[in-house]
Amino acid sequence: MRSGPAAVLAAAALALLPATASARTAYPDPLPLTGQQIIHDPTVHQLPNGRYVAYSTGGILGARLSTDLTHWTDAGNAFTTPPAWWYDYNSTADPWAPDLTYRDGRYWLYYAVSSWGTNRSAIGVATSPTGLPGTWTDHGPAFTSEKTDTWNAIDPAVIRAGGRLWLAFGSYWSGIRMTELDPATGKALADAPVHHLATRPDAPYAVEGPSILHHGGYYYLFASYDACCAGVNSTYKIRVGRSKSVTGPYTDSTGTPMLNGGGDLLLSGHGRYAGPGGESTFRTRGKTWLAYHYYDATDGGTPKLGLNQLRWRAGRPVVK
């Protein structure tokens, strides 16, 4: 759920971070927020009426609403009841890590259903005419993985590129992958190849939660590295690389491929803001924003929404 399998989150293994480029050594704090800030793995979108909606892990995909990006209110859940097929992948029908997009006159919500520590997983898809909680129609699995696969079908991120529709995904196992979707159904094309975008050289291959942004002729792959979901002990951090092609290869500012453990360090824990990750990006009013969760060290490690504007320096993103 932009969270890797618990069985492989060994502290010693997580310490094996390869030498990669670091974008900066000090980090700005996130935008000051008020209201309902508790969130995990956020995806944010501005609706036509100017309001912002955020969906996240927790509940039946918890929803938050805002008129100004700074004050957020609880808006219930995307779904009123879990679709029955979720129970095939999770005994409590617990969905993770949603991704919200708009195309062809509808809002599309992708999300993961799995169980902690296994790669028998599914990415589901739902549509809505408004993008608001309680209006979603579920369409079942869009892509799945089994224990015999070398990837894990969770943490979806959808992007249109070159007139085609693509799904990035992945958590641990072999890292970040990508496959092509049918634009009509929003589901994976039959027999479409699965491309490999990012991994690390050592087990447990602690990279997950992709998000892809197109800017200035490049595609930028953001991913969460290290350990999620341990409150103030979380070691999550966000790294990024870029490519001319949506399917890669993605490299950092030193030229190191993300398939070889590369990735510029974009955001890491600092001060009260522990373990930032589970990121996504969105654009509004001419600005590009990075949305993520962090664990608040002044509030018992409660996961909260982080928002930072993205700026560009020598063709690479930095947080403001």
Catalytic machinery residues:
41, 208
Distance from C-alpha of 96 to C-alpha of 110, rounded to nearest angstrom: 10
- Written as six digits, the tokens of 9 are 């989150």
Distance from C-alpha of 174 to C-alpha of 183, rounded to nearest angstrom: 26
Q: What is the DSSP letter of 12?
A: H
Distance from C-alpha of 11 to C-alpha of 91, rounded to nearest angstrom: 28
Segment holding 11, helix H or strand E? helix 11-14
Contacts of 146 (CB under 8 A, 6+ apart): 119, 120
- Across the strands, what pairs with 45? 53
Segment holding 154, helix H or strand E? none
Of 239, 253, 243, 242, nearest in space to 290 by CA = 239
- On whether the CB atoms of residues 179 and 193 are closer than 8 A, the answer is yes
